[in-house]
Amino acid sequence: MIFQIGAAIIGMYGENYKAKAAEIESKQRAKQMQIDRKINEASAMQQQNERFNQYVEARATNDAQFSFQLGGGESTSVDAFQKAQREIVDEDMRVSQRQQMFDSSSRTVAALIERDRGRNAIVAGRINTVTRLFQLGAQLEETAAKAATGGA
Side chain identity at residue 91, one-letter code: E
Opening angle at CA 104, ends 36 and 115, nearest 5: 65
What is the model's pTM? 0.56
The answer, yes or no, to whether residue 62 has pLDDT greater than 80, is: no
Instruction: Read off the pLDDT of residues 14-23 as tens digits, 9 standing for 90 and up.
Output: 888 888 888 8
- pLDDT for 75: 65
The answer, yes or no, to whether residue 60 has pLDDT greater than 60, is: yes
Instruction: Read off the pLDDT of residues 93-103 as tens digits, 9 standing for 90 and up.
Output: 888 888 888 88
From first CA to last CA, the distance across the chain in angstroms is 16
Side chain identity at residue 78, one-letter code: V
Q: Tell me the domains of the chain and their CATH numbers.
A: 2-148 (1.10.287)
Side chain identity at residue 113, one-letter code: I
- pLDDT for 17: 84
Give, as one character, the DSSP assignment of residue 56.
H
The number of residues making up the chain comes to 152
The answer, yes or no, to whether residue 108 has pLDDT greater than 70, is: yes
CB atoms within 10 A of CB 13: 12
The answer, yes or no, to whether residue 80 has pLDDT greater than 70, is: yes
Rounded to the nearest 10°, the torsion over CA 120, 125, 131, 135 is: 160
Residues 119, 127: Cα–Cα separation, whole Å: 12
- pLDDT for 74: 61
Residues 115, 107: Cα–Cα separation, whole Å: 12
Give 3-state DSSP helix, strand, coil % of the chain, rounded to 5.
95, 0, 5
Kindly indicate the confidence band of residue 1, based on its pLDDT and cuts at 50, 70 and 90. low
Q: What are the C-alpha distances in Å from 39 to residues 9, 14, 18, 128?
A: 45, 37, 32, 39
- pLDDT for 71: 63
